[in-house]
Amino acid sequence: MATFTLTSGREINLLDRLPQTKRDPKARAAAKTAADRALAKQFGRDFFDGERRHGYGGYRYDGRWLPVAQRLVEHYQLPPDARILDVGAGKGFLLHDLLQVLPGATVRGLDVSAYAKQHAHGKTGPLIDIGSAEQLPYADASFDLVISINSIHNLEYSLCKQALTEIERVSRARKFITVDAWRTEEERQRLFDWILTAETYMSVEDWVRLFTEVGYTGDYWWFIP
């Protein structure tokens, strides 16, 4: 079992340069069915490029992740030859943009979706490994930064815990994740109306307790529709 040296991760929004998206959780709640959720959770064509009720409704590169890549590199003061892992890389948009900011970096992505890898943006397909976050196929302390945006909450609770432990294991120090959460009862209801693929979703306080329990020492932010 790995031994962790606990440091203080913090709540910080490193996605603040993303365009703000208007969402209608009530409309989504009224439209989605159990069958829609089951189809979305296959993370295939329907999820990425099918109808909106099954996922993204067309997940296409538009450059919006470039400012996020710049923000991550600046905030974590990454060296030119940094090694970066994106857990839940999807079609590789953030991987592509990280290489625009740090051309000398080594980037890897991991995703459960063979469809996403096959339809990855630019030349990122070969950089994406097929797998799941609870069992990362990488050596201990092999990345300068590990990121996971809106991904590990798609695992059921025990596997989500394992994923946090794995992210901790493969990172040398820097880590950043975002997960589904709420602070108020109103936010809780909006999240319940919105979620399509998530299996683990909790209050902000419960997430922070979980981070302490499993020894996750990285930074974190919340998806709250």
Please state the rounded mean pLDDT for residues 92-117.
98
Alpha helix segments (H runs only) across 121-225: 157-170, 185-194, 204-214
Contacts of residues 58-62 at CB distance under 8 Å and 24 or more positions apart, as own/partner, are 59/90, 59/91, 61/91, 61/93, 61/96, 61/121, 61/122
The answer, as to whether pTM is greater than 0.85, is yes
pLDDT for the residue 23: 83
DSSP H/E element including 220: strand 219-223
Kindly report the three-state secondary structure assignment for every residue of 49-107: HCCHHHCCCCCCCCCCCHHHHHHHHHHCCCCCCCEEEEECCCCCHHHHHHHHHCCCCEE
| DSSP letter, residue 171 | E
80 pLDDT above the threshold of 90:
yes
pLDDT for the residue 3: 35
2 pLDDT above the threshold of 50:
no
**pLDDT tens by residue, 147-162:** 999 999 999 999 999 9
Q: What percent of the chain has pLDDT over 70?
A: 96
Q: Which pair of structure tokens corresponds to residue 12?
A: 């910080």
| Minimum mean pLDDT range among 3-17, 39-53, 56-70, 114-128 | 3-17
Q: What are phi and psi of 30, to 5 degrees?
A: -70, -30
Please state the rounded mean pLDDT for residues 172-185.
97
